[in-house]
Amino acid sequence: MAIEGPLRELGIHDVFQLLDLSRKSGVLRVVSELRDNEGVVAFHSGRIAYASIRSNPHPIGEMLLKANKITAAELAAARERQTQHGDRRRIGEILIEISAITPRDVEQFVRRQAEAVVFELMSWREGHFRFEEARDDELPDNPSVAVSTESVLMEAARRIDEWSRIADRVPNLSVVPQFADAAADHSGQLDLLPGEWEVLTMIDGQRDLRRMAVDLARSEFDVAKIVYGLVSTGVVSLRQADRRSQMGVVNSDEQAERQAAARAMVLQGLAAASGGRLDDAIRVWGQYLATHSTDKDASAVRDATEAVERLRRTLEVLRG
């Protein structure tokens, strides 16, 4: 059975929740013509087994190699099994079998891969999704490693919330970082972590953040955070790329990011209320209503806030 529709009618967060709660197995494809992009997520019994996005696929093998979890020879051996021996399993499954890495390490990187892809997909407000259902034994990979969809959604919401805080300096992924002119009193020594140095070496005044993420095989979110730190310390400045023919896309991206940040605040308050943290829920939803009073969810959030406040007062009476 196939489930499909436009994202404007059913958001990607709701699609993921539906597949999680119904414990579906199959492959979800999300296509955006505006972005010329496509995301693919495989589900096994409601859990995420694999995720990829065309613009930045985050291949597990490359991620493991860059993190020094495996050697180039081990990765080559696993790929040889796929290409020459017809092994249809994912690289991670093969690396586990040849004892190059533990299942726990593979699960950690599958989670990172999924978080990066879902974070990107949650910002899409246009496009089309299609989920093709299948039994676990019908899927080509049938992996032993899969991660919780709920935890991945929560991490994606946290990233969107954090993105809203760095947006004052890094407004979108189309900005181009360039080295700032050194101030007379600026220290000549930088104390950076290896990942930060890696991003710094990619700054050439031509690549935007999206291209840097692709070239580094890192998530766009991670690159944006590091650049935010470099901008804050005065090492780097940003300029908007001269892409007049793509201004509509840029504006759409900015609007989608604002909408995603608003949605993240709604979800953050809901998670707090569900966990019994009523004060946190009221605080987060209050911030949301102060900055997104015309949002489509504002009325429902206002009602929910009033209900939580009544519940809190009732509990205080019962305790006292």
Which residue, 106, 131, 163, sits at the end of a domain?
163
Same domain, 111 and 220: no
Are 13 and 267 contacting, i.e. CB atoms less than 8 angstroms apart? Answer: yes
Under DSSP, is residue 176 helix (H, G, I), strand (E, B) or coil? strand
Is 170 inside any structural domain? Answer: no
Q: What is the pLDDT along the chain (320 residues), one digit of tens a residue?
A: 678 899 888 888 889 999 999 999 999 999 998 878 899 999 988 999 888 888 776 678 888 887 889 999 999 999 998 888 777 777 888 899 899 999 888 888 888 888 888 888 887 878 999 999 886 566 654 455 788 999 888 888 888 888 888 888 998 888 999 998 765 555 556 778 888 888 999 999 899 988 888 777 777 888 999 999 999 988 899 988 765 444 444 455 556 556 666 777 777 777 777 777 888 888 888 888 887 778 878 888 888 898 888 888 888 887 76
Tell which residue, 179, 167, 246, 174, has the closest CA to residue 210: 174
Task: Please indicate, yes or no, whether residues 260 and 284 belong to a single structural domain of this protein.
Answer: yes
Burial readout 185-219 (b: 16 or more C-beta within 10 A, e: otherwise): eeeeeeeeeeebebbbebbeeebbbbbbbbebebb
Q: How far is CA 38 from CA 61, 104, 106, 128, 147, in A?
A: 20, 28, 24, 10, 21
Kindly state the tokens that stand for 291. 């900055």
C-beta contacts of 32-35 below 8 A and 24+ residues apart: 32/124, 32/126, 32/127, 33/127, 34/126, 34/127, 34/249, 34/252, 35/124, 35/127, 35/249, 35/253
Axis-axis angle for helices 247-274, 278-291 (nearest 10): 160
Give me the domain span that covers residue 107: 2-163
C-alpha 150/C-alpha 46 separation (Å) is: 10
Q: Token match 């900015």: residue? A: 254
User: What is the tally of structural domains in the chain?
Assistant: 3
Q: Are residues 138 and 180 in the same domain?
A: no
Residues 6+ apart with CB under 8 A from 81: 87, 94
**Co-location of 11 and 119 in the same domain:** yes
pTM (2 decimals)?
0.60
Q: How far is CA 203 from the centre of its chain?
A: 23
> Which residue stretches of 48-190 are H helix?
60-66, 72-84, 91-97, 103-121, 149-166
228 with 286, same domain?
no
Pair (152, 183) in one structural domain: no
User: CA end-to-end span of the chain, whole Å?
Assistant: 54
